[in-house]
Amino acid sequence: MMILSRKYWSNTNHEHDQPAHLQLRDPNIPEIVNLPKYAGPESRYCPARVYEYIADDKGQLKLQINAQNCLHCKACDIKDPKQNIEWTVPEGGGGPGYSIM
Based on DSSP, count helices (H) and strands (E) in the chain, helices before strands.
5, 4
In a domain, 18, yes or no: yes
Tell me which residue range forms the domain holding 79: 3-87
Could you read off the pLDDT of 57-96 as tens digits, one per residue? Answer: 999 999 999 888 888 888 998 999 999 999 887 766 555 5
- List the one residue out of 35, 76, 81 whose CA is nearest residue 56: 35
Q: What does pTM read for this prediction?
A: 0.74
Classify residue 75: in a domain, yes or no. yes
Residue 46 maps to a domain: yes
Q: What is the CATH number of the domain that holds 12?
A: 3.30.70.20
In-domain check, residue 9: yes
Query: For residue 101, is it within any domain?
Result: no
In a domain, 100, yes or no: no
Residue 10 located in a structural domain:
yes
Decide: helix, strand or coil at residue 18.
Answer: coil
Structurally, the chain folds into a number of domains equal to 1
